[in-house]
């Protein structure tokens, strides 16, 4: 069964450094998402992306964050200058488009990247 693939599985970075988290969504999916889960807390929405632009972002997704779909397969999340509080598990998700303007298909998640900021 097709799956969302995320790399690396674990990233350790010094505070203030830039980090790029990578995702390969399921191939025929057109909607892409990033979520994060701080240890012991709820999964939180960061951003959604469709048709090569951000369709929605949360209050967490400030100017330090950016997303990109550099080619036909990858979807990346960049954190420009990491902070200690950015330590979390970051999940990428994708979803198939329905025939209508809005998709009622489920979001499919990757296994996540554990980001540790020192």
Partner 1 sequence: KQEVTQIPAALSVPEGENLVLNCSFTDSAIYNLQWFRQDPGKGLTSLLLIQSSQREQTSGRLNASLDKSSGRSTLYIAASQPGDSATYLCAEETSGSRLTFGEGTQLTVNP
Neighbours of 106 (CB within 10 A): 9
User: Which residues, 28 to 57, sit near partner 1 by CB under 8 A?
Assistant: 31, 33, 35, 42-45, 48, 55-56
Applying CB under 8 A, which part among 11-19, 69-77, 80-88, 104-112 lies near partner 1?
A: 104-112
Using an 8 Å Cβ cutoff, are 117 and 11 in contact? no
3-state secondary structure of 64: coil
Count of chain residues binding partner 1 (CB under 8 A): 25
Strands 43-50 and 31-37, sheet pairing: antiparallel
The contact set with partner 1 (CB under 8 A) reads 4, 6, 31, 33, 35, 42-45, 48, 55-56, 58, 91, 93, 102, 104-112
């Amino acid at each position: 069964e097709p799956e969302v693939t995320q790399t690396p599985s674990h990233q350790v970075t010094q505070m203030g450094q830039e980090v790029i988290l990578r995702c390969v969504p399921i191939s025929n999916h057109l909607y892409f998402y990033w979520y994060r889960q701080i240890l012991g807390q709820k999964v939180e929405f960061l951003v959604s992306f469709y048709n090569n632009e951000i369709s929605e972002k949360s209050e967490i997704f400030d100017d330090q964050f950016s997303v990109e779909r550099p080619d036909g397969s990858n979807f990346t999340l960049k954190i420009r200058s990491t902070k200690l509080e950015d330590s979390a598990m970051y999940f990428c998700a994708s979803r198939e488009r329905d025939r209508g303007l809005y998709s009622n298909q489920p979001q499919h998640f990757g296994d996540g990247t554990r980001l540790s900021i020192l």
